[in-house]
Structure 1
């Protein structure tokens, strides 16, 4: 029994179907039960914890209410009101002020010692200046009006303001413990004016006593959060006053539902919002701890899946032996039959569908054996007949080929003659057309040569005039260079004169300065001479400025003259080259005129020879037309004979091909049947 790929066998497929189906249903039922029980347990625990948190929150609200009542007692205490009203008008360093402040401290001590949870009471003026303190800590000396908690109390305008926990108290005294606080603005009940700010620090132990009995399970925690998500109370003292590490948004705590999941879905949160402080009492429980009892179902599911897998393996092996093994045997027998062994038969031991399939296979192989034996006999007879038909067809084809070859040679010669005569006729016609074109072109060339000769004569005349004008231009350029050189010398003379005038102006200016000095020495008698000397000096300055302007203009003229000389010096050699080029072009025009005269004479002789060649071409064209007509008639007759011979040869070839094909089919059938073993 041969096995190829076990995965492709029917037994293996049935085995895998049983295994996957059983495991799928067992795991589906098990994990569905696990998820349902997990959700039910989580919901029940959350509901129970929610009620616990709500009850604890309500108890804390009663506690908060007691502290608010305490602030109201201080506000309504008649003795305290009198003391606060009296201290306002007293000087700070006076004895009455100190005595009144001491009385206020004693009054605060009464309230502080009456409630052990109160760590300290502080009373401040509205500008933040301390008035009095009582309890375990003292108020600072500097003002506290810049503190955020102080501003919050003032902003409440007389309502109780709850303040978050400070890890070391509100004034961070040595050895201080964490405290949260309540504050209130104390008003004058007569005119409602704000008088003082009260701050009561409360130890977080009072919260710990109320929340110690609340258990959130292993890994769980109970804490109080402010609206800003800062920790007011927690069993972890290091987190007090810090942002909570529980990843939950503040707005998600505003719904009517009192239990939610955190962002990571790993904590079940139950909470209660205080109506007094606005803080959230929250219990956080790890989801893994809540559903640890439900994991027993998960373990049972895996055990049942393992048992089901073992059962599926056993069933698969039984099914593979009952169904897969007989099918594999039948497949191997069919492969032997495919290779040509028709003697194979299957041993049938059962009467089910597989046994019926084996019987049908045996009957099919028996009928195929009989069919092959009968076909083998018929193939022998067809092979003998095909051999005789092939010999006769080959002889007929050989004779037809010999006739066709001879006929094709005759037809080919006639066709070649007709083609060659037709080509000769076309060539003579083309020669005639080309001769006419040559004659016309020759006439056009004669006319063009005459025109070229006339244009050459006219060009010679123009070149003579151009030479004369170029010589005149050269003479004018030479004169211009000489005149510009003379002008350059003149500008140099002007510059020398300007230098003399400049020196005269300087001397005049010096003389006028000396005259001014002498006039000043003469006193009142020299004032008129001083005016004249001043005017002379002004005229000398004007002369100097005018000489400088003229000098600038002269320098500009000198520079432009130098540039003109440079341009003319550059242009003069170009004029020399232009004269040489014009003379050379005149010589070329004269040579063209000489050559064109000889070309016109030769062109006349060529025209006469072309006329003689055109007459001979007409005679040749008539002769080629007669030869072409005879060749076409001979070619048509030969092609008819060749067509008949070709048709006969095609028929003979077809008969030979059919005979060969029949022979091949007979041999192929014989070879195919020889593969079967009967």
Structure 2
């Protein structure tokens, strides 16, 4: 196997690779484009829906939390107002001042204290939210100040007690404690330094403990969604209020302070992750305290409805996969299969099979036009090759006829040469006999019988010379006729070769036109590639189609180059044939001239031989008068001798011309054989094509 065959086999194997095929590329492009587009749109829709739902829920939850915060603020403000009422209560102020009177007996102090306690109890009984109200001295060593109860010593060491003292009369809200602050468990409290409005003296610390139910009642039924929770937390992130009492005084599930620091104080919500679960947290500060009302809801619960979009996206992706496969298969059937079929037909045409045609499928698109153009091209090439075959066959037949005629001419020339040699031999004999007759004229009387015998021999020789002369003239006439026929055949063959050259020139023009078409196809493919590149992702499929059209144009150009090479070879061989015929034609002209000259000489010889025969008859008639006409006979013998010498010279000239004609005939035979070889070579070149 040659290197060209191996390269062609490798190229075919590369073309047969399904991944490199146009159909598979289009299928992958459609598959990736449609699936990617649907998947991206689905994911974006899911994410956008999720974000919108979270934002909407966050806004709605923020409004709910803000309204609940207002309620809590109202509760706290109302409780602060009660502490102010207590501070402004004249009965409380008078009795507390009276309690400090040192002149009072112990019993009076007891009654005074009971009056203060009763007044505080009335506030407790008047409001169900209040758990208890107590007045504590500023420290454990103070004994002249009224106290409603005796607190534990650690109360004075607690942070909250110190905080109330430092507030110097401002209300301080204390978070919920399970153990309570003074007497009420599971309570939160508000405390402030109690000043006597009449004496402006500090009477102690007022602690009003509130039931956690007060916060529950203030909040009411607050919900920001399924699975949500509402809580109030302090600055230390511990729970002040929760629907679940077990969470009180425990750290909140989300570190609100840390997330606020990340998102910024201007933000009113954030997302946090707890136990690998995203939690949306909204908050609002309570104005009357440093607490935050916080609401949390799992993001999964929020976007539970949005998961339908994700499920729908998965379904649409599966549908898109099926659709992409179906569209890809349709494209393969409509584009790839016709292209593959056309490629195979072009490869068959490149191998020399010109009978391949694309079946008419009625398509009016570019592929249908390409198929029609391919069929038209193959028809034209087939017609050209057929015409070339016919012309080559005619040239071969003409070459065979010319070769036969040349051989016959050569044989005739050989026969003419033999006859000419015989004539020359006869002329030489005639000259010898004339010389002998001239010698014998002196002794004619003695050898009359010899003269009669010699005369008879001369008559016989003259008859033979005359016969040979006629035969030579006939041969020369036949040679002139055959030479004229040969000239007409050479001229006809030259005309046919010129017509064949014109046909090959037409083929060359058609090939140039096809080459221009392939160049224009490449330019159109390049323009299509540029426009596809401008179109971006939408033009990628058209870019692959344009690239495949460019490859087909390149393959067409290669096939055209092969046909052009063969046509060029035919033109070269035709030019060589024309050259050979051009060289042979002057030789045939010279041969015709020589043959005509030889014919004239033979006619002269025949005329002279006819005259010689007449003279011999006169000699025979005058034998009896030989003695009386010896002088006349001597002169006649002299004339005979001259004529014999002239005949001998003419015969030698004819022999020379015959030899030259034989040489020309041999050259003509060789030229005919060369023309036949060229015709066979042309036929072998054209036999590569199947039509």
TM-score, with structure 1 as normaliser: 0.49
